[in-house]
Amino acid sequence: MAEKRNDLLHGTLNFLVLRILRLEPLHGYGIQQRLSQVTQGALDVNAGSLFPALYRLERQGLLTARWRDTETGRRAKFYSLTAAGRKRLKEETLTWERASEAIARVVAAT
């Protein structure tokens, strides 16, 4: 089971989760679906990676969770960003932009 985990995503997964939750609170399945939709199926995060990431972010106080009903009337745990989460997202977005810009330059130059 351990080998199924996508280690490439390990650092970025947190960032992506925060990013997705910026728009609205979502439950685990919703996050997984949204990630898959946005990347058009390129990033299929499995539950074995997603849940630990959610738990970790919640423990760090970046996310908070609340049980709510979904549109279909099912009870689910909805995650949303805390103030600290928003702040972190801002920082990470900046870092990410800077890094991807730098990488893009390198790619263009060589």
Residues making contact with another protein (CB under 8 A): 1, 4, 27-29, 33, 46-48, 51-52, 55-56, 59-61, 67, 70, 72, 74-77
Rounded to whole angstroms, the Cα distance separating 85 from 49 reads 19
Rounded to whole angstroms, the Cα distance separating 56 from 18 reads 12
For another protein, the closer CB: 5 or 22: 5
**Contact between 55 and 14 (Cβ < 8 Å):** no
CB of 99 to another protein, least distance (A): 26
CB of 90 to another protein, least distance (A): 20
Helix axes 83-109, 10-21, angle to 10 degrees: 120
For another protein, the closer CB: 3 or 108: 3
Residue 78 DSSP SS3: strand
CB of 9 to another protein, least distance (A): 15
For another protein, the closer CB: 10 or 75: 75
